[in-house]
Structure 1
Amino acid sequence: MSSQTRIADRAAVSAALADPALTMPRVPDGGPASGIRWLRRSVARFADGAEHDRRRRQATGLLAEVEPAGLRRLAAERTCAALEVIGGGPFDLMARVARVVPIDALVVALGMPPVPADVVTAVAKAYQPGTGAEEPADEAVARLVEAFGGVPDEPTAARVGLLVQTCDATAGLVGNAALAMLRADGERSVDAIVAETLLHDPPVRMTRRRASDTGAVVEIDLATGGCPFGAGPHQCPGQDHATAIAAGILEPVRGYALVNPQVQYERSAALRVPTELLVTR
Protein backbone atom coordinates (compact mmCIF):
# COMPACT_ATOMS: atom_id res chain seq x y z
CA MET A 1 0.00 0.00 0.00
CA SER A 2 1.33 3.47 -0.87
CA SER A 3 1.68 6.23 1.74
CA GLN A 4 -1.79 7.45 0.80
CA THR A 5 -4.58 5.51 -0.91
CA ARG A 6 -7.97 6.74 -2.11
CA ILE A 7 -11.03 4.46 -2.12
CA ALA A 8 -14.04 5.51 -4.20
CA ASP A 9 -15.73 2.35 -5.46
CA ARG A 10 -19.10 1.92 -3.72
CA ALA A 11 -18.55 -1.63 -2.50
CA ALA A 12 -14.98 -0.84 -1.47
CA VAL A 13 -16.06 2.26 0.45
CA SER A 14 -18.61 0.32 2.53
CA ALA A 15 -16.06 -2.42 3.18
CA ALA A 16 -13.36 0.07 4.18
CA LEU A 17 -15.64 1.89 6.63
CA ALA A 18 -16.41 -1.43 8.33
CA ASP A 19 -12.83 -2.76 8.27
CA PRO A 20 -11.37 -2.97 11.83
CA ALA A 21 -7.86 -2.84 10.32
CA LEU A 22 -8.57 0.74 9.19
CA THR A 23 -8.60 2.86 12.32
CA MET A 24 -8.98 6.56 13.01
CA PRO A 25 -5.77 8.55 12.45
CA ARG A 26 -4.05 9.54 15.68
CA VAL A 27 -4.81 13.00 17.02
CA PRO A 28 -2.11 15.25 18.52
CA ASP A 29 -1.34 15.23 22.24
CA GLY A 30 -0.90 18.29 24.42
CA GLY A 31 -2.87 21.49 24.46
CA PRO A 32 -4.97 23.16 27.18
CA ALA A 33 -7.05 21.08 29.58
CA SER A 34 -10.23 22.18 27.80
CA GLY A 35 -8.95 23.03 24.32
CA ILE A 36 -9.39 21.61 20.84
CA ARG A 37 -6.87 18.79 21.35
CA TRP A 38 -8.64 17.76 24.55
CA LEU A 39 -11.93 17.69 22.62
CA ARG A 40 -10.54 15.46 19.87
CA ARG A 41 -9.14 13.06 22.48
CA SER A 42 -12.48 12.94 24.34
CA VAL A 43 -15.10 12.33 21.63
CA ALA A 44 -16.12 9.20 19.75
CA ARG A 45 -15.22 10.74 16.38
CA PHE A 46 -11.48 10.11 16.72
CA ALA A 47 -11.56 6.95 18.84
CA ASP A 48 -11.79 3.22 18.14
CA GLY A 49 -12.79 0.09 20.01
CA ALA A 50 -14.28 0.16 23.49
CA GLU A 51 -13.37 3.82 23.95
CA HIS A 52 -15.30 4.72 20.82
CA ASP A 53 -18.29 2.60 21.82
CA ARG A 54 -18.53 4.19 25.27
CA ARG A 55 -18.32 7.72 23.95
CA ARG A 56 -20.73 7.02 21.09
CA ARG A 57 -23.33 5.79 23.58
CA GLN A 58 -23.09 9.14 25.34
CA ALA A 59 -23.81 10.98 22.08
CA THR A 60 -26.58 8.65 20.95
CA GLY A 61 -28.15 8.89 24.40
CA LEU A 62 -28.42 12.64 23.98
CA LEU A 63 -29.87 12.32 20.48
CA ALA A 64 -32.41 9.76 21.67
CA GLU A 65 -33.98 12.53 23.76
CA VAL A 66 -34.77 14.52 20.59
CA GLU A 67 -37.60 13.51 18.28
CA PRO A 68 -36.62 14.40 14.67
CA ALA A 69 -40.16 15.57 13.85
CA GLY A 70 -40.09 18.00 16.75
CA LEU A 71 -36.61 19.17 15.73
CA ARG A 72 -37.90 19.81 12.23
CA ARG A 73 -40.72 21.99 13.55
CA LEU A 74 -38.30 23.86 15.76
CA ALA A 75 -35.93 24.49 12.84
CA ALA A 76 -38.83 25.78 10.75
CA GLU A 77 -39.96 28.10 13.56
CA ARG A 78 -36.44 29.45 14.06
CA THR A 79 -36.05 29.98 10.31
CA CYS A 80 -39.36 31.85 10.07
CA ALA A 81 -38.32 34.07 12.96
CA ALA A 82 -34.95 34.80 11.34
CA LEU A 83 -36.56 35.62 7.99
CA GLU A 84 -39.01 37.96 9.70
CA VAL A 85 -36.14 39.88 11.28
CA ILE A 86 -34.15 39.97 8.04
CA GLY A 87 -37.01 41.20 5.88
CA GLY A 88 -37.28 40.75 2.13
CA GLY A 89 -34.03 42.32 0.95
CA PRO A 90 -31.00 40.36 -0.26
CA PHE A 91 -29.18 38.46 2.48
CA ASP A 92 -26.71 35.62 2.88
CA LEU A 93 -28.68 32.48 3.65
CA MET A 94 -25.53 30.73 4.85
CA ALA A 95 -24.51 33.35 7.42
CA ARG A 96 -27.99 34.28 8.62
CA VAL A 97 -29.75 30.90 8.58
CA ALA A 98 -27.75 27.80 7.57
CA ARG A 99 -24.93 28.45 10.06
CA VAL A 100 -27.19 29.61 12.88
CA VAL A 101 -30.51 27.75 12.93
CA PRO A 102 -29.14 24.16 13.12
CA ILE A 103 -27.06 25.01 16.21
CA ASP A 104 -29.84 27.01 17.87
CA ALA A 105 -32.45 24.32 17.20
CA LEU A 106 -30.29 21.52 18.57
CA VAL A 107 -29.31 23.52 21.65
CA VAL A 108 -32.97 24.21 22.45
CA ALA A 109 -34.05 20.62 21.73
CA LEU A 110 -31.35 19.22 24.02
CA GLY A 111 -32.11 21.72 26.78
CA MET A 112 -28.60 23.14 26.65
CA PRO A 113 -27.68 26.65 27.79
CA PRO A 114 -27.67 29.16 24.90
CA VAL A 115 -24.36 29.25 23.05
CA PRO A 116 -23.40 31.57 20.18
CA ALA A 117 -23.28 29.79 16.84
CA ASP A 118 -20.04 31.58 15.94
CA VAL A 119 -18.31 29.98 18.94
CA VAL A 120 -19.29 26.53 17.67
CA THR A 121 -18.12 27.51 14.19
CA ALA A 122 -14.71 28.51 15.58
CA VAL A 123 -14.32 25.01 17.02
CA ALA A 124 -15.53 23.34 13.81
CA LYS A 125 -12.86 25.14 11.75
CA ALA A 126 -10.12 23.28 13.63
CA TYR A 127 -11.96 20.09 14.60
CA GLN A 128 -10.09 18.00 12.03
CA PRO A 129 -6.35 18.12 12.84
CA GLY A 130 -4.44 20.42 10.53
CA THR A 131 -7.47 22.27 9.14
CA GLY A 132 -7.46 25.48 11.19
CA ALA A 133 -5.70 27.59 13.80
CA GLU A 134 -5.87 25.95 17.21
CA GLU A 135 -5.61 29.01 19.46
CA PRO A 136 -9.03 30.51 18.61
CA ALA A 137 -10.49 27.01 18.72
CA ASP A 138 -8.97 26.47 22.19
CA GLU A 139 -10.70 29.62 23.42
CA ALA A 140 -14.00 28.58 21.85
CA VAL A 141 -13.86 25.07 23.35
CA ALA A 142 -13.15 26.56 26.77
CA ARG A 143 -16.22 28.81 26.43
CA LEU A 144 -18.42 25.84 25.53
CA VAL A 145 -17.06 23.72 28.38
CA GLU A 146 -17.78 26.57 30.80
CA ALA A 147 -21.31 26.96 29.40
CA PHE A 148 -21.95 23.25 29.94
CA GLY A 149 -20.86 23.19 33.57
CA GLY A 150 -17.12 23.82 33.47
CA VAL A 151 -15.97 20.19 33.77
CA PRO A 152 -13.84 18.91 30.87
CA ASP A 153 -15.03 15.30 30.94
CA GLU A 154 -16.47 12.90 28.37
CA PRO A 155 -20.15 13.82 28.91
CA THR A 156 -19.27 17.48 28.31
CA ALA A 157 -17.21 16.52 25.27
CA ALA A 158 -20.19 14.58 23.90
CA ARG A 159 -22.35 17.71 24.06
CA VAL A 160 -19.71 19.92 22.49
CA GLY A 161 -18.99 17.28 19.85
CA LEU A 162 -22.63 17.03 18.80
CA LEU A 163 -22.81 20.76 18.17
CA VAL A 164 -19.49 20.86 16.35
CA GLN A 165 -20.34 17.93 14.09
CA THR A 166 -23.72 19.52 13.35
CA CYS A 167 -22.11 22.82 12.38
CA ASP A 168 -20.42 22.51 8.98
CA ALA A 169 -22.11 19.32 7.78
CA THR A 170 -25.66 20.56 8.35
CA ALA A 171 -24.88 24.04 7.05
CA GLY A 172 -23.52 22.40 3.90
CA LEU A 173 -26.59 20.19 3.55
CA VAL A 174 -28.89 23.21 3.94
CA GLY A 175 -26.86 25.31 1.51
CA ASN A 176 -26.54 22.62 -1.18
CA ALA A 177 -30.21 21.64 -0.90
CA ALA A 178 -31.36 25.27 -0.93
CA LEU A 179 -29.28 25.88 -4.03
CA ALA A 180 -30.89 22.88 -5.78
CA MET A 181 -34.36 23.99 -4.71
CA LEU A 182 -33.99 27.61 -5.78
CA ARG A 183 -32.36 26.76 -9.11
CA ALA A 184 -35.03 24.27 -10.15
CA ASP A 185 -38.60 24.60 -11.31
CA GLY A 186 -41.36 22.41 -9.95
CA GLU A 187 -42.85 21.60 -6.59
CA ARG A 188 -40.77 18.71 -5.31
CA SER A 189 -41.10 18.17 -1.59
CA VAL A 190 -38.28 19.42 0.58
CA ASP A 191 -37.78 15.83 1.73
CA ALA A 192 -37.14 14.76 -1.87
CA ILE A 193 -34.76 17.69 -2.37
CA VAL A 194 -32.77 16.80 0.75
CA ALA A 195 -32.60 13.13 -0.28
CA GLU A 196 -31.43 14.03 -3.79
CA THR A 197 -28.82 16.42 -2.39
CA LEU A 198 -27.41 13.68 -0.20
CA LEU A 199 -27.11 11.46 -3.27
CA HIS A 200 -25.70 13.98 -5.73
CA ASP A 201 -24.21 16.89 -3.76
CA PRO A 202 -23.55 15.74 -0.18
CA PRO A 203 -21.79 18.15 2.19
CA VAL A 204 -19.38 15.58 3.62
CA ARG A 205 -17.22 14.28 0.78
CA MET A 206 -14.38 12.37 2.33
CA THR A 207 -13.06 10.81 5.52
CA ARG A 208 -9.67 9.37 6.44
CA ARG A 209 -8.52 6.17 8.07
CA ARG A 210 -5.12 4.75 9.00
CA ALA A 211 -4.00 1.27 7.99
CA SER A 212 -3.00 -0.39 11.26
CA ASP A 213 -0.35 -2.58 9.60
CA THR A 214 1.50 0.05 7.55
CA GLY A 215 0.42 3.37 9.04
CA ALA A 216 -0.65 4.54 5.56
CA VAL A 217 -3.38 7.18 5.35
CA VAL A 218 -6.45 6.01 3.44
CA GLU A 219 -8.85 8.56 1.95
CA ILE A 220 -12.40 7.25 1.63
CA ASP A 221 -14.61 9.02 -0.89
CA LEU A 222 -18.04 9.23 0.76
CA ALA A 223 -19.64 11.17 -2.10
CA THR A 224 -18.71 8.82 -4.95
CA GLY A 225 -19.03 5.86 -2.63
CA GLY A 226 -22.66 6.65 -1.85
CA CYS A 227 -22.23 6.97 1.92
CA PRO A 228 -23.13 10.59 2.76
CA PHE A 229 -23.34 9.77 6.48
CA GLY A 230 -20.56 7.22 6.50
CA ALA A 231 -21.04 3.58 7.42
CA GLY A 232 -19.77 1.04 9.90
CA PRO A 233 -18.96 1.88 13.54
CA HIS A 234 -18.45 5.58 12.81
CA GLN A 235 -21.64 6.11 10.81
CA CYS A 236 -23.18 9.44 11.77
CA PRO A 237 -25.64 8.83 14.63
CA GLY A 238 -27.52 12.05 13.89
CA GLN A 239 -28.49 11.56 10.25
CA ASP A 240 -32.24 11.62 10.95
CA HIS A 241 -31.78 14.79 12.99
CA ALA A 242 -29.66 16.47 10.30
CA THR A 243 -32.17 15.75 7.54
CA ALA A 244 -35.02 16.93 9.79
CA ILE A 245 -33.25 20.24 10.47
CA ALA A 246 -32.50 20.74 6.77
CA ALA A 247 -36.10 20.04 5.73
CA GLY A 248 -37.40 22.34 8.47
CA ILE A 249 -35.21 25.18 7.21
CA LEU A 250 -35.97 24.68 3.52
CA GLU A 251 -39.76 24.93 3.74
CA PRO A 252 -39.85 28.61 4.81
CA VAL A 253 -37.22 29.44 2.15
CA ARG A 254 -39.55 28.39 -0.68
CA GLY A 255 -40.49 31.43 -2.74
CA TYR A 256 -37.10 33.10 -2.32
CA ALA A 257 -34.84 33.61 -5.32
CA LEU A 258 -31.10 33.46 -5.86
CA VAL A 259 -29.47 36.83 -6.33
CA ASN A 260 -26.31 35.30 -7.78
CA PRO A 261 -26.56 31.74 -9.18
CA GLN A 262 -22.76 31.46 -9.31
CA VAL A 263 -21.69 30.01 -5.97
CA GLN A 264 -18.24 29.64 -4.41
CA TYR A 265 -17.42 26.89 -1.93
CA GLU A 266 -15.23 26.80 1.12
CA ARG A 267 -11.77 25.42 0.53
CA SER A 268 -11.89 21.93 1.97
CA ALA A 269 -11.04 18.46 0.74
CA ALA A 270 -13.61 16.89 3.04
CA LEU A 271 -16.56 19.29 2.88
CA ARG A 272 -18.67 20.99 0.21
CA VAL A 273 -20.18 24.06 1.84
CA PRO A 274 -21.18 27.26 0.00
CA THR A 275 -19.28 30.27 1.33
CA GLU A 276 -22.23 32.54 0.58
CA LEU A 277 -25.74 32.12 -0.78
CA LEU A 278 -27.35 35.47 -1.56
CA VAL A 279 -31.14 35.24 -1.78
CA THR A 280 -34.07 37.63 -1.82
CA ARG A 281 -37.80 37.25 -1.32
Structure 2
Amino acid sequence: MLITRHAEAVAVLSDSRHVPPPVPQDAPDGTLAWLRAQVSRFASGPAHAARRRRVEELLASIDPAGLRAAARELAGEPVATVSTRAFGVSQVEAVATAAAGYLSGEGGPEADAAVRALLPLGIPMITILLQAHAATAGLITAALAREDGITPVEDLLHETLRHDPPVRVTRRDGVEIDVAAVNRDPGVFPDPDRFDPGRGATPHLTFGHGVRPCPASAHALAIAAGYLEGRRA
Protein backbone atom coordinates (compact mmCIF):
# COMPACT_ATOMS: atom_id res chain seq x y z
CA MET A 1 0.00 0.00 0.00
CA LEU A 2 1.34 3.43 -0.98
CA ILE A 3 0.69 6.31 1.42
CA THR A 4 0.77 9.89 0.17
CA ARG A 5 -1.30 11.73 2.79
CA HIS A 6 0.20 13.27 5.91
CA ALA A 7 -2.36 12.00 8.43
CA GLU A 8 -2.13 8.43 7.15
CA ALA A 9 1.67 8.54 7.30
CA VAL A 10 1.58 9.85 10.88
CA ALA A 11 -0.78 7.04 11.85
CA VAL A 12 1.50 4.37 10.37
CA LEU A 13 4.68 5.82 11.85
CA SER A 14 3.03 6.06 15.28
CA ASP A 15 1.88 2.43 15.27
CA SER A 16 4.41 -0.03 16.72
CA ARG A 17 2.79 -2.83 14.71
CA HIS A 18 4.23 -1.32 11.53
CA VAL A 19 7.85 -2.43 11.42
CA PRO A 20 10.47 -2.37 8.65
CA PRO A 21 10.61 -5.41 6.37
CA PRO A 22 12.77 -8.07 8.04
CA VAL A 23 16.33 -8.71 6.91
CA PRO A 24 18.19 -12.05 6.82
CA GLN A 25 19.73 -13.00 10.17
CA ASP A 26 22.18 -15.68 9.05
CA ALA A 27 24.82 -13.75 7.09
CA PRO A 28 28.52 -14.31 7.84
CA ASP A 29 29.98 -12.04 10.52
CA GLY A 30 31.55 -8.83 9.31
CA THR A 31 29.55 -8.57 6.10
CA LEU A 32 27.13 -5.82 5.09
CA ALA A 33 24.23 -8.27 5.38
CA TRP A 34 25.38 -9.18 8.89
CA LEU A 35 25.60 -5.49 9.84
CA ARG A 36 22.03 -4.87 8.67
CA ALA A 37 20.91 -7.63 11.03
CA GLN A 38 22.68 -5.93 13.96
CA VAL A 39 21.41 -2.36 13.71
CA SER A 40 18.28 -0.75 15.08
CA ARG A 41 16.89 0.39 11.73
CA PHE A 42 15.93 -3.09 10.56
CA ALA A 43 15.04 -4.54 13.98
CA SER A 44 11.78 -4.59 15.89
CA GLY A 45 10.57 -5.19 19.43
CA PRO A 46 13.08 -5.37 22.31
CA ALA A 47 16.05 -5.65 19.92
CA HIS A 48 15.11 -2.40 18.24
CA ALA A 49 14.63 -0.63 21.58
CA ALA A 50 17.97 -1.78 22.97
CA ARG A 51 19.92 -0.95 19.82
CA ARG A 52 18.26 2.43 19.42
CA ARG A 53 19.04 3.26 23.05
CA ARG A 54 22.75 2.64 22.44
CA VAL A 55 22.69 4.97 19.43
CA GLU A 56 20.86 7.64 21.43
CA GLU A 57 23.37 7.36 24.26
CA LEU A 58 26.24 7.88 21.84
CA LEU A 59 24.51 10.84 20.20
CA ALA A 60 23.91 12.38 23.63
CA SER A 61 27.68 12.49 24.09
CA ILE A 62 28.19 14.40 20.81
CA ASP A 63 27.46 18.12 20.93
CA PRO A 64 25.65 19.35 17.81
CA ALA A 65 27.37 22.71 18.25
CA GLY A 66 30.72 20.98 17.89
CA LEU A 67 29.55 19.25 14.72
CA ARG A 68 28.38 22.59 13.34
CA ALA A 69 31.76 24.14 13.99
CA ALA A 70 33.55 21.17 12.44
CA ALA A 71 31.36 21.27 9.34
CA ARG A 72 31.99 25.00 8.99
CA GLU A 73 35.69 24.25 8.71
CA LEU A 74 34.97 21.59 6.07
CA ALA A 75 33.13 23.93 3.71
CA GLY A 76 35.81 23.55 1.06
CA GLU A 77 35.52 19.76 1.06
CA PRO A 78 33.22 17.63 -1.14
CA VAL A 79 29.69 17.42 0.26
CA ALA A 80 29.81 13.63 0.37
CA THR A 81 32.66 13.67 2.91
CA VAL A 82 31.27 16.22 5.34
CA SER A 83 29.10 14.16 7.68
CA THR A 84 31.79 11.52 8.19
CA ARG A 85 34.58 14.00 8.78
CA ALA A 86 32.46 16.23 11.02
CA PHE A 87 32.13 13.25 13.35
CA GLY A 88 35.91 13.03 13.40
CA VAL A 89 36.08 9.81 11.39
CA SER A 90 38.73 9.49 8.71
CA GLN A 91 37.48 6.37 6.89
CA VAL A 92 35.47 8.37 4.37
CA GLU A 93 35.78 5.87 1.54
CA ALA A 94 34.77 2.92 3.72
CA VAL A 95 31.69 4.79 4.96
CA ALA A 96 30.68 5.70 1.41
CA THR A 97 31.15 2.13 0.17
CA ALA A 98 29.19 0.54 3.01
CA ALA A 99 26.48 3.22 2.91
CA ALA A 100 25.78 2.59 -0.78
CA GLY A 101 24.12 -0.73 0.01
CA TYR A 102 23.03 -0.12 3.58
CA LEU A 103 19.35 0.58 2.88
CA SER A 104 18.87 -1.79 -0.03
CA GLY A 105 21.07 -4.63 1.16
CA GLU A 106 22.78 -4.71 -2.22
CA GLY A 107 26.46 -5.10 -1.50
CA GLY A 108 29.40 -7.23 -2.46
CA PRO A 109 32.99 -7.95 -1.46
CA GLU A 110 33.92 -4.25 -1.38
CA ALA A 111 30.99 -3.38 0.88
CA ASP A 112 31.84 -6.30 3.17
CA ALA A 113 35.46 -5.14 3.37
CA ALA A 114 34.29 -1.62 4.17
CA VAL A 115 32.13 -2.90 7.03
CA ARG A 116 35.08 -4.84 8.46
CA ALA A 117 37.23 -1.70 8.29
CA LEU A 118 34.63 0.24 10.24
CA LEU A 119 33.94 -2.34 12.95
CA PRO A 120 36.46 -0.88 15.44
CA LEU A 121 34.20 2.19 15.62
CA GLY A 122 31.41 0.09 17.10
CA ILE A 123 27.99 -0.62 15.65
CA PRO A 124 26.24 2.46 17.15
CA MET A 125 28.77 4.77 15.50
CA ILE A 126 28.63 2.87 12.23
CA THR A 127 24.84 3.16 12.33
CA ILE A 128 25.07 6.93 12.67
CA LEU A 129 27.66 7.30 9.93
CA LEU A 130 25.93 5.12 7.35
CA GLN A 131 22.51 6.65 7.88
CA ALA A 132 23.95 10.17 7.80
CA HIS A 133 26.13 9.70 4.73
CA ALA A 134 23.73 10.05 1.82
CA ALA A 135 20.93 11.80 3.71
CA THR A 136 23.05 14.67 5.01
CA ALA A 137 24.83 15.08 1.69
CA GLY A 138 21.47 15.12 -0.05
CA LEU A 139 20.14 17.77 2.30
CA ILE A 140 23.21 19.98 1.82
CA THR A 141 23.16 19.57 -1.96
CA ALA A 142 19.47 20.47 -2.20
CA ALA A 143 19.94 23.47 0.09
CA LEU A 144 22.91 24.72 -1.92
CA ALA A 145 20.73 24.71 -5.03
CA ARG A 146 18.44 27.22 -3.26
CA GLU A 147 21.16 29.18 -1.50
CA ASP A 148 20.91 32.95 -1.87
CA GLY A 149 23.29 34.02 0.89
CA ILE A 150 20.47 35.95 2.58
CA THR A 151 17.87 33.50 3.86
CA PRO A 152 18.62 32.36 7.42
CA VAL A 153 20.35 29.00 7.22
CA GLU A 154 17.87 27.28 9.54
CA ASP A 155 14.89 28.47 7.48
CA LEU A 156 16.56 27.32 4.27
CA LEU A 157 17.21 23.87 5.72
CA HIS A 158 13.74 23.42 7.21
CA GLU A 159 12.05 24.17 3.90
CA THR A 160 14.55 22.04 2.00
CA LEU A 161 13.72 19.12 4.26
CA ARG A 162 10.04 19.57 3.49
CA HIS A 163 10.27 20.37 -0.20
CA ASP A 164 13.19 18.16 -1.25
CA PRO A 165 13.59 15.32 1.28
CA PRO A 166 16.87 13.45 0.73
CA VAL A 167 15.15 10.16 1.58
CA ARG A 168 12.00 10.19 -0.50
CA VAL A 169 10.47 6.86 0.48
CA THR A 170 10.34 4.95 3.75
CA ARG A 171 9.01 1.43 4.13
CA ARG A 172 7.19 -0.53 6.77
CA ASP A 173 6.09 -4.13 6.39
CA GLY A 174 3.43 -4.00 3.68
CA VAL A 175 3.41 -0.20 3.53
CA GLU A 176 5.39 2.32 1.51
CA ILE A 177 5.31 5.98 2.53
CA ASP A 178 6.02 8.53 -0.19
CA VAL A 179 7.71 11.13 2.00
CA ALA A 180 7.98 13.66 -0.82
CA ALA A 181 4.22 13.49 -1.44
CA VAL A 182 3.34 13.50 2.26
CA ASN A 183 5.45 16.63 2.76
CA ARG A 184 3.40 18.36 0.07
CA ASP A 185 -0.03 17.38 1.38
CA PRO A 186 -2.13 20.49 0.64
CA GLY A 187 -4.23 19.82 3.70
CA VAL A 188 -1.18 20.50 5.89
CA PHE A 189 1.10 22.72 3.82
CA PRO A 190 -0.53 25.68 2.02
CA ASP A 191 0.67 26.13 -1.57
CA PRO A 192 2.74 22.97 -1.06
CA ASP A 193 4.72 23.01 -4.30
CA ARG A 194 6.14 26.47 -3.63
CA PHE A 195 9.55 26.58 -1.99
CA ASP A 196 9.06 29.08 0.83
CA PRO A 197 11.74 29.34 3.54
CA GLY A 198 9.43 31.76 5.34
CA ARG A 199 7.40 28.80 6.55
CA GLY A 200 10.04 28.09 9.18
CA ALA A 201 9.79 24.73 10.93
CA THR A 202 6.87 22.66 9.64
CA PRO A 203 5.47 19.20 10.52
CA HIS A 204 7.28 17.51 7.63
CA LEU A 205 8.04 13.84 8.03
CA THR A 206 11.53 13.79 6.55
CA PHE A 207 12.99 12.82 9.92
CA GLY A 208 10.22 10.30 10.52
CA HIS A 209 7.71 10.39 13.33
CA GLY A 210 6.28 8.45 16.21
CA VAL A 211 7.96 5.16 17.10
CA ARG A 212 11.09 5.49 14.95
CA PRO A 213 11.99 9.13 14.38
CA CYS A 214 15.55 9.84 13.28
CA PRO A 215 17.59 10.01 16.50
CA ALA A 216 20.19 12.29 14.90
CA SER A 217 18.02 15.01 13.40
CA ALA A 218 19.66 17.76 15.48
CA HIS A 219 23.09 16.50 14.52
CA ALA A 220 22.27 16.32 10.81
CA LEU A 221 20.88 19.86 10.86
CA ALA A 222 23.96 21.09 12.71
CA ILE A 223 26.31 19.61 10.12
CA ALA A 224 24.31 21.00 7.21
CA ALA A 225 24.03 24.43 8.82
CA GLY A 226 27.74 24.57 9.57
CA TYR A 227 28.64 23.63 6.01
CA LEU A 228 26.37 26.32 4.57
CA GLU A 229 27.76 28.89 6.97
CA GLY A 230 31.28 27.98 5.92
CA ARG A 231 30.35 28.43 2.27
CA ARG A 232 28.95 31.86 3.05
CA ALA A 233 32.04 33.00 4.92
- Give the conservation status (yes or no) of the 8 Å contact 1:115–1:144: no
Aligned residues: 212
TM superposition shift of 1:18: 1.3
Is 2:136 aligned against 1:136?
A: no
1:202 maps onto 2:165 in alignment: yes
Q: Does 1:104 align with 2:85?
A: yes
1:93 aligns with none
How far the C-alpha of 1:20 sits from its partner, in A, is: 2.2
Higher alpha-carbon Rg: 1
Q: Which structure has the highest strand share of the two? A: 1
Q: Find the counterpart in structure 2 of residue 54 from structure 1.
A: 50
With the length of structure 2 as denominator, give the TM-score of the two structures: 0.86
For residues 126 and 64 of structure 2, the distance between their equivalents in structure 1, rounded to whole angstroms, comes to 19
The alpha-carbon deviation at position 254 of structure 1 amounts to 2.7
Q: Give the gaps of 5 or more residues in structure 1.
A: 84-95, 109-113, 149-155, 211-216, 256-281
- Of 221, 226, 230, 1:248 maps to 226
SS in 2 for 1:45: coil
Q: Could you tell me how far apart the structure 1 residues matched to 2:74 and 2:150 are? A: 23
Q: For 1:17, which of 10, 13, 19 is the aligned residue?
A: 13
Letter in 1 for 2:21: P
* CA–CA separation in structure 1 for the residues paired with 2:217 and 2:112: 27
d(CA) in 2 for partners of 1:218, 1:170: 25
Match of 1:77 in 2: 73
Structure 2: 5+ residue runs without aligned partners? 183-203
Q: Which amino acid is the alignment partner of residue 119 of structure 1?
A: A
Q: Structure 1 residue 161 and structure 2 residue 127: aligned?
A: yes
Amino acid at match of 1:133: G
Aligned-partner residue type, residue 23 of structure 2:
V
The RMSD of aligned alpha carbons is 1.5
Q: Equivalent residue of 2:170, what SS?
A: strand
8 A contact 2:55–2:124 mirrored in 1:
yes
> 53, 60, 65: which is aligned to 1:64?
60
Is 1:26 the equivalent of 2:22?
A: yes
Q: Is 1:191 aligned with 2:154?
A: yes
Q: In the alignment, residue 199 of structure 1 is paired with which amino acid?
A: R
Distance in 2 (alpha carbons) for counterparts of 1:58 and 1:189: 34
In 1, distance between residues paired with 2:118 and 2:66?
A: 25
Partner of 2:177: 220
